[in-house]
Structure 1
């Protein structure tokens, strides 16, 4: 019960910080919004994919939205560790797990809000998902698993960084990785080497599973691979984050 109460307190604190720093949500939306207009209205006609490009690109843009909202979390986690906040907790009866849990919950909710906006914009631009109700549930499940996995990875990055400035930089590869996936063009259309990397990296599996659910043609193999990647990333990141946190507190 004490841990739950502490988590609630930390959650309220982080929500207040997010409200005072709307740049975090703006950053999560700005680049995906730019990309959706760029890819659909400028470059989309150059891809012959056999489907509407907005239908193809939207699952990738959802994952991009998650990744572009992580820098705020890495900085916030590292700031807690380096500005004396954690030192004050050492002399208080506060659950240490509550600190990390609250960052993950706030990051998850912020990402889901940004994703809802991106999907709304995509619908206005012609996105026409053919998913049934169960397939929508499958798509939502993949999104939530991906958000939680990336949130824990982001927290681990923030704990591993030495300064808030380096925390922002350490998340950069995560934000760029979706470009080297099947987010905007099929992996088989890429050059040698890049094609193989794109095919087997985790974001491609997650995007393909999401794309299948939204198109009404779910793939069991893609869904299993996506869930396995998300669960694996979550477990590794959680263990890494808790171990790093324990060493620094």
Structure 2
């Protein structure tokens, strides 16, 4: 896969996102609305030991990536249903380049929505207490999560038979931040749910972002988060290669 091909297909993915106005607006604005709802509707009733906007912001940053994942899965499914894949193959463009274009566009789109949510959080009271090095580490963890989730979404898009089904599959990814430490401490949950919340992949990502952005001790949590991201990325990328050959055969 040449760099020129990857850039062209990434630009194509961005154009597809721009044309799908409804999905783009949803992926950008829904996380912002959720941020405002959690902070102003529920924040006064939830005791986390700090301002609720300070606690909830890392969770909403992760939540917005889940909404972006649905768009990635749907656009991959639409490509597989149409004749564009045959045209690409006649130009000697492989599946890896096609999927990488979708993934790169997804990461850029999710980065934009993350920046928007963070700007809104700062406007309503979120105050990071971090250093440049810790901020870079937080950005690296978040980028690793976005990359892993985008490849997972591409695999789901190859598996699904319709854009609607692809969006439905990614609902489960969008749901994962809820049974985690995103919105309430996990020790407030029932014991059976606490066990799941403490050991699912989203929780160490959120705890890493929270600790790195707020200047608290994170221990080995970022490494656990990166290990989860690497595992999801490796499995998703391998599955995408197999599924693309199967669907394009």
Same topology, TM > 0.5: yes
* Structure 1 unpaired stretches of 5+: none
Runs of 4+ off more than 4 Å: none
Any idea what the Cα deviations from partners look like across 1:108-136, whole Å, max 9, x if unmatched?
00000000000000000000110111110
* Aligned 8 A contact 2:11 2:105 in 1: no
Distance 1:76 1:64 in 2: 20
Q: What residue in structure 1 maps to residue 231 of structure 2?
A: 232
Listed as ranges, the matches of 1:186-225 within 5 Å are: 186-225=185-224
Mapped pair 1:183 → 2:204:
no
* Aligned 8 A contact 1:3 1:97 in 2: no
Q: What residue in structure 2 maps to residue 86 of structure 1?
A: 85
Larger deviation, residues 102-111 vs 10-19? 10-19
Listed as ranges, the matches of 1:53-64 within 5 Å are: 53-64=52-63
Q: What residue in structure 1 maps to residue 247 of structure 2?
A: 248
Larger deviation, residues 118-127 vs 186-195? 186-195
Distance 2:227 2:190 in 1: 27
What TM-score do you get using the length of structure 2 for normalisation? 0.96
Any idea what the Cα deviations from partners look like across 1:4-49, whole Å, max 9, x if unmatched?
2222221222222122223233121232122211111111111222
1:95, distance to aligned residue in structure 2 (A)? 3.0
Superposition RMSD on alpha carbons, in Å? Answer: 1.2
Q: What residue in structure 2 maps to residue 168 of structure 1?
A: 167
Listed as ranges, the matches of 1:80-159 within 5 Å are: 80-159=79-158
Mapped pair 1:44 → 2:36:
no
* Structure 2 unpaired stretches of 5+: none
Q: What residue in structure 2 maps to residue 17 of structure 1?
A: 16
Distance 1:102 1:21 in 2: 16
Any idea what the Cα deviations from partners look like across 1:62-115, whole Å, max 9, x if unmatched?
000101111111110011011111122232222331101000000000000000
Distance 1:90 1:61 in 2: 39
1:220, distance to aligned residue in structure 2 (A)? 2.5
* Aligned 8 A contact 1:208 1:222 in 2: yes
Distance 2:142 2:24 in 1: 18
Distance 2:49 2:144 in 1: 29
